[in-house]
Structure 1
């Protein structure tokens, strides 16, 4: 029920519970999960992310050496991004008008929730399979970005808010502001990860213990292996 396609039978309804509460808060987006801007997240947001983290724990315990999860990633990604995502966006916003032709108004909210959840899990499993298939060999750059990603996820929000406030009155296109904020915040967070987080207790909690290159050389015995 973890690596089998039957996982959708329980993952979808479980995830639909918190997803059904999304978009109800003032200023919330019609598509995607709500954003918690305080130190204490709303219960439905906490439950939503807990489901994904919980599934990750269960999957890790499966020791899926054969790569069953995401094995059909080309089909999964194709259906997810070409079919499910456009439908999910339209059932959330009604911009295209498909939802009026496909279902009565009484079912729009239910199908909106279902399609958003299906898109999220489909993209997750499809990308897991894609990365497993396309990145079979160790890549130091990808490994570093993977290790730092959790820190970027945890710490990005206040920096993004500050950056948005800094550029909001600039007379440049919105796309340029978006790109600038993303680049500047990412660079700052990567530098903070390297010099303030990676080799500290926080880094150990996020990704396990890392040894500085200089210290690692000192620990290498004359035989050429690390003691």
Structure 2
């Protein structure tokens, strides 16, 4: 640890504070999407009638109602992901990485459309459909991983060979593997979205205070977790513990610090209002007991 502090002390400030978004890349992308959406809405209200402005959201929403609609939703993702064989590379610079930026942007646009047409999502409230979609996502992942590894130069895996033998076709070349990987990745993304969205709709069809508290605090935990996931393993480096105990100790302490700081510092303050839309009282104890969580600015009867 002393050696580590010596290395850090010898570094320049520019090396310690790099101009990157680090783990906040998702919030940075989300900020860009929201600003872009706001500007488009303002421009649309000035230039286009309501009927024309609503066409994109109505089209995207209606795709969930027709057979094969998911395949059509996959097409833009396939085009975005084709150069990486379906891999969504995280962009951490302030200049967005094109593949992830446009892929996540399209998913954001779809989510925006579905939010205004939430009745379409009622069709997802089915245990067989949700479980089936999640299982299919896992199967697609296994196939995608094989084609992705082949695209980066590794030999074809056993799953690819057995599938090609069964179908009576040759093992695809690198370029074909790139397109197959992009197609499988797009299908995997949408099946995962439908499966987990349906599962959430099924198990959270009523207000559950404990879940509500975890969701409210998740943004804050996400924002502050990285320094602790670096510091805590450093403190445990000389302890005679295995990798898994150290992992779970780091996970537990980081989660504990995150939610305690959220409850004591953030939840009832200005930051809490920014993250959650309004100020809430400290309620960690109520959340453990699954009791009702009342906002500080809720109207009194």
- TM-score normalised to structure 2 length: 0.58
Query: Which residue does 2:145 correspond to in 1?
Result: 89
| Residue-pair matches, total | 214
Gap runs ≥5 in structure 2: 1-59, 151-155, 165-170, 284-293
- 1:14-25 aligned within 5 A: 14-22=76-84
C-alpha displacement at 1:202, in angstroms? 3.3
- In 1, Cα distance between the equivalents of 2:230 and 2:106? 27
- 1:27-176 aligned within 5 A: 33-38=88-93, 41-64=96-119, 67-69=122-124, 71=126, 72-81=129-138, 83-93=139-149, 96-101=157-162, 102=164, 103-105=171-173, 106-163=175-232, 166-167=235-236, 171-176=240-245
- For 1:121-161, what per-residue CA distance to the aligned partner results, in whole angstroms no more than 9, with x for missing partners? 21221011112122322211111112222333344344434
Query: Which residue does 1:28 correspond to in 2?
Result: none
Helix, strand or coil: the match of 2:214?
Answer: helix
Gap runs ≥5 in structure 1: 24-30
Helix, strand or coil: the match of 1:199?
Answer: coil
Compared CA separation, residues 217 and 14, structure 1 to 2 (3 A): closer
C-alpha displacement at 1:168, in angstroms? 5.7
Compared CA separation, residues 15 and 177, structure 1 to 2 (3 A): farther
- In 1, Cα distance between the equivalents of 2:95 and 2:236? 27
Query: Which residue does 2:251 correspond to in 1?
Result: 182
C-alpha displacement at 1:32, in angstroms? 5.2
Question: Does the 8 Å contact 2:124/2:198 carry over to 1?
Answer: yes
RMSD: 3.4
Question: Does the 8 Å contact 1:70/1:127 carry over to 2?
Answer: no
- TM-score normalised to structure 1 length: 0.74
Larger Rg: 2
- In 2, Cα distance between the equivalents of 1:22 and 1:10? 20
Larger deviation, residues 56-65 vs 192-201 = 192-201
